[in-house]
Amino acid sequence: MSKLSIGQMAKLNQISVQALRLYDEMGILKPIEVNPETGYRYYDVKQCGKLDMIRYMKSTGISLKEIKDIFEHRDITKLNLVLHEHLKSIDHDIQELELQKKAVKKMIDSYNRYLKSPQDGTITLEYIEDRKIYSSMTDINFYDYGIEAYENILKDLRQDMEKQGIPEVYYYNAGTTIFQDDFLNKKYLSNEIFVFVDQDCVSSFLQILPANMYACVYCDDFDKEKQYIVKLYDYIEQNQLIVIGDYICEVLTELPITKTNKREMFLRLQVPVTFVKK
């Protein structure tokens, strides 16, 4: 077969006729002959080698415009530079996809925990493993202002994380802290907000919440937090537990389906405790 019609060339190479027409229009792969009367294009079977190269280069992410430029200049050095740039781009895309994967897994884990968590008001005693956090201090006491201040603090936290190079994927399920002395003195004072990060997250600004037994109470409404803290106090006293660390209000889940304009959160209020030794 000396000449192949465009349809035969397409079938032989399992490519669309439209792609061959585009390659012709761009000057990347022109037919060996075009019938002046019918406009039919004809190819030589030996052109399959060049077509294979076009398709392979395209599969690496090189644009058709770049492929044309490489073919026209026949410059291997340029091709090598283009390939190295694409390798950097692919590595960046992989990192972005890994972060997206983490974000999706975080949401899945969050909703699974919500579905399996005790109902609102339930008090538990739980062993919680080490957790790593990124925290930021604020100038105001969050409890003096309520949810509006919380929203502003969250925005400040996001900006702070960005400055320190903490990926935005961790801007999820934030928490607030009442330091141990203030909690023991029954002061509603919180100047620290934080987010949980993965154990493999690296930054000099991270802290570890050590593994401990925690007295916890589950809460389905931000506005109930103070009254549920009282429940924690009562539980700790009744069971003769000793508080050994800071109180944490952890957002287990933020629900995307809301009945109001405010955030709908499911919280786990918690404080590390130990037992009185007899």
The tens digit of pLDDT for each residue in 44-84 reads: 999 999 999 999 989 888 899 989 988 888 878 888 888 88
Q: Which of the four pLDDT bands, split at 50, 70 and 90, describes residue 262?
A: low
CB-side exposure of 23: number of CA atoms within 13 Å? 26
For 72, the 3-state DSSP assignment is helix
Q: Is the pLDDT of residue 95 over 60?
A: yes
The tens digit of pLDDT for each residue in 157-182 reads: 888 888 888 888 787 778 899 999 99
Question: In whole angstroms, what is the distance from residue 199 CA to residue 133 CA?
Answer: 9
Which two tokens mark 4? Answer: 């192949």
What's the order of all strands across the beta sheet hosting 4-5?
A: 4-5, 41-43, 33-34
Q: Which of the four pLDDT bands, split at 50, 70 and 90, describes residue 278?
A: low
Q: How many helices (H) and strands (E) does the chain have?
A: 8, 12
Structural domains present in the chain: 4-74 (1.10.1660.10), 117-275 (3.20.80.10)
Q: Is the pLDDT of residue 204 over 80?
A: no
Q: Which distant-in-sequence residues (6+ apart) come within 8 Å of 259 by Cβ?
A: none
